Amino acid sequence: MFDYLANPTRFLKIASYAEPVAWGVFALAGLTGLGLAFIGSPADYQQGETVRIMYIHVPSAWTALFGYLMMAVAAFFFLVWKHPLADIGARAMALPGSVLALITLITGSFWGKPMWGTWWVWDARLTSMLILFFLYIGYIALADGFDRRDRGSKSASILLLVGVINLPIIKFSVEWWNTLHQGASVLRLDGPSIDSSMLIPLLLMALAAKAWFVAITLMRMRAMLTERRLETIASRGGEKSMGAANA
Partner 1 sequence: MLEFFAMGGYAAYVWPSWLIGGALILIVSLESRRRLKSAERKLAQLSAPDAASRGAGTGRDSQDAR
Q: Which residues form the interface with partner 1 (CB under 8 A)?
A: 38, 43, 48-50, 52-53, 56-57, 60, 95-96, 99, 102-103, 106-107, 110-111, 113-114, 212, 216, 219-220, 222-223, 226-227, 229-230, 233, 237, 239-245, 247
How many other C-beta atoms can be found within 10 angstroms of the C-beta atom of residue 139?
27
> For the CA atoms of 98, 101, 50, 23, what is the dihedral angle to 10 degrees?
50
Q: How far is the CB of 102 from partner 1 (least distance, A)?
A: 7
Q: How far is the CB of 69 from partner 1 (least distance, A)?
A: 19
Question: CB-wise, 161 or 234, nearer to partner 1?
Answer: 234
Three-state secondary-structure class, residue 27:
helix
Question: CB-wise, 110 or 134, nearer to partner 1?
Answer: 110
Q: How far is the CB of 32 from partner 1 (least distance, A)?
A: 16
Rounded to the nearest 5 degrees, what angle is found at the Cα of 54, between the Cα atoms of 48 and 57?
A: 145
Q: How far is the CB of 164 from partner 1 (least distance, A)?
A: 24
Question: CB-wise, 164 or 245, nearer to partner 1?
Answer: 245
Angle between helices 149-163 and 84-116 (to 10 degrees): 50
Q: How far is the CB of 88 from partner 1 (least distance, A)?
A: 13
Question: CB-wise, 112 or 154, nearer to partner 1?
Answer: 112
Q: Are 34 and 81 in contact (CB under 8 A)?
A: no
Question: CB-wise, 148 or 236, nearer to partner 1?
Answer: 236
Alpha-carbon separation of residue 48 from 35, 91, 140 (angstroms): 18, 40, 38
Q: Are 119 and 113 in contact (CB under 8 A)?
A: yes
**Rounded distance between C-alpha atoms, residue 166 and residue 126, angstroms:** 12
Task: Identify residue 56 by its one-letter amino acid code.
Answer: I
Question: CB-wise, 158 or 223, nearer to partner 1?
Answer: 223
Question: CB-wise, 191 or 238, nearer to partner 1?
Answer: 238
Please compute Rg for the chain using Cα positions.
20
Q: How far is the CB of 187 from partner 1 (least distance, A)?
A: 22
**Rounded distance between C-alpha atoms, residue 40 and residue 195, angstroms:** 13
Q: How far is the CB of 96 from partner 1 (least distance, A)?
A: 6
